[in-house]
A and B are shown apart, each in its own frame.
Chain A
Amino acid sequence: MIDKIRKMLELVDADYADIRYENKKETSIWFEGKELTRVSANSADGYVLRVLSKGGFSSVAFTKPEDAGRAAAAALADAKLLSRNVRESVRLAGVPVIKARFRPEMSEHPEKVSLEEKIALTRAYNGIPLKNPKVITTSIAYVETCRDKYFASTEGTEINEELATLSLAGTGTARDGALTQSALFLTGGSDGFSCLRNREDYFEKNSKFLTDMLSAKPVAGGVYNVILDQGLAGTFTHEAFGHFSEADLVEDMPELRKKMSIGAQLGSGSVNIVDDPTLPHQLGFYKYDDEGVPAKRVQLMKNGVLAGRLHSRRTAAAFGDEATGHCVAEDYRYEPIVRMGSIMIEPDPATDFEKLLSQLGNGLYLCGSKGGQTSGENFTFSAAWGFEVKNGKIGQMLRDINIMGNMFTTLKNIAAVGNDPLLSEFGGCGKGQINRRSCHGGPHILVNSVVVGGVK
């Protein structure tokens, strides 16, 4: 395949070009309630060609190999159009030429497990919440994607990397009278099929939280000091801070870029944040990004001071930094963009959960992420459930919890960081493309003055 795509590169007369071919195999098994509603195992493939010509950098995605000539002409025309109209010519940061074939170590390759066994496991986990008669339905799916990627550039880089991503995840819905509540079940990872085995305890535990929520009380809207569990701390780190560490997002936002200057004191002294796609066996792991650049660990914040950014080759050159290997595409349909790998707040070994509770005194303990969103400096995210905390003791369970805040204010309001980090098993960041391997986490953290939506 490398030979085939290298020949496609010869169709382009430009300063630089690269091409990525992917064959993506996807297996999906869906249950809705007790019913099996979808089983499919397919493969689909396509190409993304990128062209740099006289300072204009463009891309074209195509699915038919016979369209290669037309695609090359379109990419070149688009690059020339850019070249005529951009103020600053695009440059690409220098990177080493690599020739590699990489297969990550996995404890159990999913392609070695039969479809029947995958259906049986999904049926078994789906059945756990349904044991409780108050659980009226579920929507739980096994999704396996194996991307076999081939990359070649006119600089001579040739890489073949395979990434297998698994999830067995979904929602359960419980009902009591007119009240309906739902909870997420999120298992998965990049470490092979074994990450899904022996997870009955997880499904049992979340099933109990789901039915317990039927007797929880709605949170009262207001401003609270809160402890965020590892999932929510990760969501905050990803949504509120992480996206503005992505150089392609911040580069054209002059006000934010000014505030996000390297060396700026943005957070409290207890906040250290890294992004590390090289962590083996974690959801966010990869060796080379979709520009053929080796992934690197990046210290983004040190003691509250902004210390680094995530880059593509283009943004690295524009910022005068080194490429970090964070330019990733969802699949063969998309050009790569700057993405987080595994982003997390680093733990403080001296602060355990009991110490955080004691420091909180009165407030809320919020657990489990149900997604989030950012716009400019502002973010919103949703907690799966929570608890009142009075005098450092966990009390009544709460439901229907959404919080919002301003990134800069909230980073400064992080009063303490725990010692118990966890990384997420399930991704799905939607920055124009879905990144199933987007991984985030951290320890429990204590944040002061958080706006919580709800009835007053």
Chain B
Amino acid sequence: MKSLIDCAGSVGAEFEIYSRSSETKSVSIENSELKDVKSCMSSGVGLRLIKNGMSGLSFTRNLTDPESLVKNAMASLRAGVEAKFTFPCTKEYLKLRTNSVKSGQITSDELLAESFRMRDLLARKAKAQVNAGARLFTAEYRLINSAGTDISWKESSVEKYGSLISAGGSEYSAGDSGFDLLPMSDASLLNVVRLFEADRAEIRPEPGKQKVLFMPRAMNTLLWRVQSGANGQSLHQKITPLAGRIGEKVFSDILTLRNNPLNDSIPGARSVDDEGVPCSNFPLIDRGVFKGFYCDLNFAAKTGSVPTGHGFRRSMWGGDPVILKPQPYLGHLFFDKGEKSFDALLKEMGKGIVVFSALGDHTGNIPNGDFSVGLSLGLCVENGRIVGKAKDTMVSGNIYDIMKRAVAVGSESEPAYSNNPPVLFDGVDVSS
């Protein structure tokens, strides 16, 4: 690393070095049988340079030739990509819990034992195809720049899931995420069984406007559109309906939506972003009012605002952080919890649809806020009770319309889905 720092420093440019070394172990069970056990060991270094108002980037998997890495970045820089920002000097930042020292000792045998336990519990309770699995991720990161930032951090997470698959292929699942390998709660798994029981009848719901409850796993249908609208990049590109609306009430006042990377009760917490800018508990929507755009260094400079600590080497689909360049990204976006349990939300709904998972949430006119998704798992509710599975059903709308008609927020959030609670909306278009 020292030779790369020396080499990057010798070309008269500002530099930023991002290094990542990670390991994963995973096991998966399909149809009650062990399907796969596999491992991955990956490392890489990403380099960004800024010189004379231009930026360049390069990456490598093996830092055996620092000169070539710098040469590649200089060639990229000469192509003419403008940079109006400089790298920050960050010396002070919050110390958060991002890993467990014990996680490095977790074995594939232990992941398998927990997966078998989840499988056995589900298989005892329901006659169905059972899938289960667990994945351990550990990583070490270092971010160094020419302004004096030098930050290292470790990350660990253990993700687990247990699913029942219906005859038609619909998946009823519970997910869990933590720093260590702890058993998934029986209550979560038993809730999967309870929902699966409702799969006995298939119902084609009446077309028209209905109350629709979006569960945490389906929340991307709505949140991807909010992320597009509140993105500093969308502001720069003049494609956001939220331009000029900071301080305006755009959603129902029961909705507060924030991005909080500082929440270290779940894995993935961050005190600085991938550019070294400190993160914050950032409210996008506060009781219905739009509070502001989120930016990385690049788009903060382009839109004349300040960087908000949202420059991450991520894309909508995840991606490889060594290869990607930082861009505005919300990785910890969730609604503040409300007060109603799942059963209370069903009662409030009376009649409507519960969307557990959506198909095609990545398609359609996302910048405009439009969505039109098929239900891979949607349940019909009548008189406050689940009566069957929604057959060949789509729900459609525009977030800037339906978010004004949110009527209740659930009290139970799911860590595996950024701690989001369910949210109930009135007047959502249903086609079937």
Interface positions of A (Cβ within 8 A of B)? 26, 29, 32-33, 35-46, 56, 58-65, 67, 70-71, 74-75, 77-79, 81-82, 85-88, 115, 119, 136-137, 173, 175, 178-182, 221-222, 252-256, 333, 335, 370-382, 399-402, 404-406, 430, 451-456
Contact = CB atoms under 8 A, between A and B. Distances in A.
Contact of B357 (A46, A82, A179, A375): A375
A41 B62 contact: no
B238 A175 contact: yes
Interface string B380-404: 0000000000001111100000000
Nearest to A256: B169
B238 A136 contact: yes
B207 A402 contact: no
A311 B37 CA distance: 20
Given A36-B81, A40-B58, A371-B363, A454 B429 contact: yes
A61 B40 contact: yes
A71 to B, nearest CB: 6
B321 to A, nearest CB: 13
B72 A42 contact: yes
Main secondary structure of the interface of A (DSSP, over half): strand
A375 B165 CA distance: 11
A136 B239 contact: yes
B396 A402 contact: yes
A77 B368 contact: no
B237 A33 contact: yes
Contacts of A67: 41
Contact of A451 (B38, B81, B431): B431
A2 B409 CA distance: 59
A380 B359 contact: yes
> Which residue among B360, B394, B432 has the maximum number of chain A CB atoms within 10 Å of its CB?
B360
Interface stretch (B10-18, B28-36, B185-193, B247-255): B28-36
A82 B35 CA distance: 8
Contacts of A376: 165-166, 168-171, 376
Contact of A62 (B42, B362, B364): B42
B372 A402 contact: yes
Given A39-B81, A402-B360, 4 more contacts: A42-B60, A62-B42, A402-B364, A455-B396
B367 A372 contact: no
Contacts of B41: 60-64, 67, 70-71, 74
B67 interface: no
Contacts of A373: 359-360, 362-363, 374, 376
A143 to B, nearest CB: 11
Interface in B152-183: 165-171
Contact of A60 (B39, B207, B241, B323): B39
A403 to B, nearest CB: 8
B170 A182 contact: no
A120 to B, nearest CB: 11
Contacts of B36: 58, 82
A44 B60 contact: yes
Nearest to B165: A253
Interface string B22-52: 0000000011011111111111100000000
B72 A40 contact: yes
A430 B317 contact: yes
Contact of A221 (B39, B60, B129, B394): B394
7 contacts: A62-B40, A64-B41, A253-B169, A370-B364, A376-B171, A402-B374, A452-B431
Interface in B60-90: 60-62, 72, 75-76, 79-82
Contacts of A375: 169-171, 357, 359, 376-377
A440 B395 CA distance: 28
A137 B432 contact: no
Given A39-B76, A378-B168, A453-B372, A44 B360 contact: no
A255 B395 CA distance: 27
A404 B108 contact: no
A443 B239 CA distance: 35
B168 to A, nearest CB: 5
Contacts of B37: 56, 58, 78-79, 81-82
Contacts of B362: 371, 373
A87 B30 CA distance: 12
A253 B363 CA distance: 27
B30 A453 contact: no
Interface in B103-151: 108-109, 112, 129, 131
A137 B368 contact: no
B365 interface: yes
A85 B34 contact: yes
B59 interface: yes
B272 interface: no
B414 interface: no
Given A252-B30, A371-B363, A451 B239 contact: no
A74 B238 contact: no
Contacts of B323: 26, 42, 44
- The 6 tightest CB contacts between A and B, nearest first, are A376-B169, A375-B376, A380-B374, A453-B394, A404-B374, A382-B363
A175 B432 CA distance: 30
A367 to B, nearest CB: 15
B116 to A, nearest CB: 8
B367 A456 contact: no
B114 to A, nearest CB: 13
A115 to B, nearest CB: 7
Contacts of A60: 38-41
A38 B363 CA distance: 25
B53 interface: no
A63 B44 contact: yes
Nearest to B394: A453
B340 interface: no
B354 interface: no
> Which residue among A86, A371, A373 has the maximum number of chain B CB atoms within 10 Å of its CB?
A373
Contacts of A71: 39, 41
A379 B396 CA distance: 16
B373 interface: yes
B412 interface: no
Contacts of A44: 44, 59-61, 322-323
Contact of B42 (A63, A175, A181, A381): A63
Nearest to A407: B169
Nearest to B400: A178
B57 interface: yes
B370 interface: yes
Given A58-B36, A60-B41, A180-B241, A404 B72 contact: no
B15 to A, nearest CB: 15
B39 A454 contact: no
A280 to B, nearest CB: 30
Contacts of B365: 180-182, 399-400
Contact of A36 (B79, B166, B392): B79
Contacts of A399: 365
A351 B193 CA distance: 49
Given A44-B61, A46-B61, A376-B170, A455 B429 contact: yes
Contacts of A430: 317
B359 A378 contact: yes
A404 B372 CA distance: 10
Contacts of B56: 39-40
A86 B108 CA distance: 15
